[in-house]
Structure 1
Amino acid sequence: MDFSLGEDRQMLVNSLGRFLAGNFDWKTREQVIASSEGWSRDLWRQLADLGVIGALFDEESGGYAGSPFDVGVVFGEVGRALAVGPFLGTLMAGRVLAATGRADLLERVIAGEVILSAALEAATLRAVVAGDGWSLSGSQAVVPFAASADHIVVAATTAQGPSLFLVDKGASGLSIQSYPLVDGGAAGELRLDGVPATLLGEAGQAAPIIEAVNAVALVGLCWEAVSIMDVVKDQTLEYLRTRKQFGIAIGKFQALQHRMATLALEIEQARSAAINAAARFQEGRITREKAVSAAKYTIGRVGTLAAEEAIQLHGGIGMTWELPLSHYAKRLVMIGHQLGDEDHHLERFIALGRESAAA
């Protein structure tokens, strides 16, 4: 099987990698995550000019790529640089806009003019008809870069079923409690009290859209995690080659070599799962959902192993703020819990198998 990315996709990887290496070094990252917003708007506009945001969406939506592999390679380079920004919220909210016919707004997002976030847990919000529009009430926590967003795409429960809505920044009744995240960036808790909102698509028809959006977001997170694992593995190997104990490099100790060999094999398993999630995406709902849940389960398990092994093999220095490795490890652990942890996706994989057998 050919695992090459193809010429166009490889050009995207190379250009994005060079850009982040030249414009998002570690000192810049420290400054960005310490800022009030937790990300750089200037960097985001440059990424938009480079075409990175457009790579997340297809031509019909105003982008130029948009396949799961395109999403994967973008998130992979984001993970390699440990870049922070509204990547996940933009992907998820933008996919909702594309699915519900709001290409006009999405074009401005791709151009870097508008910032989006997404809050797609319908169970925590309630929507009712209010005059000619809709009114939303409830709360939702850990909405990525919520305070920075110009619009937030939210899911809410209605009398017709789960539905999708667009909420504008500054809408009456909307409050956002913002806070920094342990792995960098920022999030916020939404509190809505009779907030006016615009219905996206048809009321009660949100479930399949949300499921598909979550699936492509999971592909992105899995590719991001694999790239982070590669960085963590390489940094740990370099440390084992240079750190000496009893007059020799600790990488000479057979027990540590065995641990790194096991980790390398597990990372390759995670990489295969992430590739499989992208490759099986267009093969029907059950196949797609099983592939992304299998990948997310594997990423959660192997990501935890990679973070723990890297920190343990570095010793006490592995926990320090000054060492980049500790930040990569935090991000790995966080990804393991985003959009469902390994227990959730193992249960989901089993349920999907039963659903497939029953059908």
Structure 2
Amino acid sequence: MDLQYSPEQLQLRESVERFVREEYDFAHRRRLVASDPGHDEACWQKYADFGWLAIPFSEDDGGIGGGAADVALVMEGVGRGLLLEPYLANVVLAGGVLAALGSAEQKAQWLAPMMTGQTKLALAHAEAGGRYERAHCDTRLQHDGQGLVLSGGKVLVHGGGVADAFVVIARSSGAVGDEQGLSAVVVPAKAPGVAIKAYATHDGTRAADVTFDRVALPASALLGQEGGAFDAIDRVLDRGIAALAAEAVGAMGALVDTTLDYLKTRKQFGRPIGTNQALQHRMVDMHIALDEARSMALYGALMIDEADAPTRRKALSATKIEIDRTARLVGQEAVQLHGAMGVTEELNVGHYFKRLTLIGLSLGDSNWHLRRHAAN
């Protein structure tokens, strides 16, 4: 197996790194966190101009035809720059469900304008009390004459506050935890009966709780076969894990570099604190953890297209478990080695630590993935 990046992938990585380096410094991010909508619309349009929003979609759908490794290169840059724009929500999650289940007409209506930056999408999947279980769904989709009616509520919809439309997972039949009976529909954000409560999360990114009060939808809003959406949803959420793993690697890499520079320049008793052997050992532990995380992120990206679902689930759970462990180690060491400065708002170290903490709680925490790993 050739694990070398192609010239095109190297060019993609360089374009992301250059954008972060030249146009998205930490001061810019801090201003955006306090702004409305909490990210830079001009930067989002640049994502589209660079082709990043079209990477994982087929050429037949108007995309570039890249794979999980290409998305990972972008997400690693997202992590290194702590970018606030909802790339994961649009491209990987909502766009992934549309690409998997949508018809040519639905893709032309929703996916194509997302790739050009004209439309923002968000996946409305999680519900209160679900505890990461992917089949947990009590939002109901019912027939009403020639159309459909959607009722229920979703929580922690990433990018939901600025979404033009939601890809909503709803139950057409069965009990709350059944895998069969789940459907996906596209719901315009301004449709009558849709209520959105947006908020900032602990790490500065934005999410929303969304309720649907008997929202009337045309039959054409249904994506794919009614009641048969679970397998596509399951794979898309695993793609989300692979993307989060790459983002975590980018954030960890930035923390390792920042901490090493600090140890080289911070002086006590007339010499850099990095000359202390105990601190050198801790720095080595951080480097080792980063390399372990990078290997597991690559493993997750390579396994996302595995045809056998249990094998794929096991691999992506292993990836998430290891990413959570290494992110916690690198984040905690970076904060401690910076001393009290590590948790100040003015220093980026604490912000990276917050983002890594939220990644650890996204799409299943370590305990949930340990159970899934054992079950597959």
Common fold: TM-score over 0.5: yes
Q: Is the 8 A contact 1:16 1:52 kept in 2?
A: no
Distance 1:108 1:207 in 2: 25
Q: Is the 8 A contact 1:89 1:118 kept in 2?
A: yes
Within the candidate set 331, 335, 359, 1:335 is matched to 359
Distance 1:50 1:224 in 2: 19
Distance 2:271 2:23 in 1: 38
In the TM superposition, 1:237-316 aligns within 5 A as: 237-284=260-307, 285-316=309-340
Task: Tell me the residue number matched to 1:128.
Answer: 142
Distance 2:20 2:271 in 1: 36
Within the candidate set 102, 107, 110, 1:103 is matched to 107
Matched, 1:195 2:215: yes
Distance 1:302 1:270 in 2: 6
Matched, 1:325 2:349: yes
Distance 1:332 1:147 in 2: 22
Q: Is the 8 A contact 1:280 1:291 kept in 2?
A: yes
Q: Is the 8 A contact 2:125 2:154 kept in 1?
A: no
Task: Tell me the residue number matched to 2:93.
Answer: 92
Greater shift in the superposed pair: 177-186 or 326-335: 177-186
Greater shift in the superposed pair: 56-65 or 90-99: 56-65
In the TM superposition, 1:60-209 aligns within 5 A as: 60-90=60-90, 91-100=92-101, 101=103, 102-104=106-108, 105-121=110-126, 123-159=137-173, 161-197=181-217, 198-209=221-232
Query: Which amino acid letter does the alignment assign opposite residue 108 of structure 1?
Result: P
- Report the CA distance between 1:287 and its aligned residue: 2.4
Distance 1:220 1:54 in 2: 15
- Report the CA distance between 1:185 and its aligned residue: 2.4
Matched, 1:10 2:15: no
In the TM superposition, 1:2-81 aligns within 5 A as: 2-81=2-81
Greater shift in the superposed pair: 19-28 or 262-271: 19-28
- Report the CA distance between 1:2 and its aligned residue: 4.2
- Report the CA distance between 1:48 and its aligned residue: 0.2
Query: Which amino acid letter does the alignment assign opposite residue 195 of structure 1?
Result: V
Distance 1:21 1:250 in 2: 27
TM-score normalised over the length of structure 1: 0.94
Distance 1:82 1:299 in 2: 17
Task: Tell me the residue number matched to 1:357.
Answer: none
Query: Which amino acid letter does the alignment assign opposite residue 320 of structure 1?
Result: T
Unaligned segments of structure 2, at least 5 residues: 127-135, 175-180
Matched, 1:224 2:234: no
Q: Matched residue pairs, number?
A: 352
Q: Is the 8 A contact 1:312 1:318 kept in 2?
A: yes
Q: Check 1:334–1:124 CA distance in 2 against 1; reply closer, same or farther (3 A cut).
A: farther
RMSD of aligned C-alpha atoms? 1.4
Query: Which amino acid letter does the alignment assign opposite residue 171 of structure 1?
Result: A
Q: Is the 8 A contact 2:71 2:243 kept in 1?
A: yes
Distance 1:12 1:170 in 2: 35
Distance 1:21 1:144 in 2: 25
Which string of whole-angstrom CA distances, capped at 9 and with x for unpartnered residues, describes residues 207-236 of structure 1?
100011011111111001011101101111
Q: Is the 8 A contact 2:300 2:316 kept in 1?
A: yes
Q: Is the 8 A contact 1:124 1:140 kept in 2?
A: no
Q: Is the 8 A contact 1:176 1:190 kept in 2?
A: yes
Q: Is the 8 A contact 2:125 2:157 kept in 1?
A: no
Distance 2:317 2:58 in 1: 24
- Report the CA distance between 1:264 and its aligned residue: 1.4
- Report the CA distance between 1:124 and its aligned residue: 4.2
Query: Which amino acid letter does the alignment assign opposite residue 170 of structure 1?
Result: K
Task: Tell me the residue number matched to 1:356.
Answer: none
Matched, 1:345 2:369: yes
Which string of whole-angstrom CA distances, capped at 9 and with x for unpartnered residues, describes residues 39-97 of structure 1?
12221111101111111322233211331101111111111111111111112111111
Unaligned segments of structure 1, at least 5 residues: 353-359
Distance 2:243 2:349 in 1: 21
Q: Check 1:304–1:124 CA distance in 2 against 1; reply closer, same or farther (3 A cut).
A: farther
Distance 2:222 2:11 in 1: 38
Task: Tell me the residue number matched to 2:233.
Answer: 210
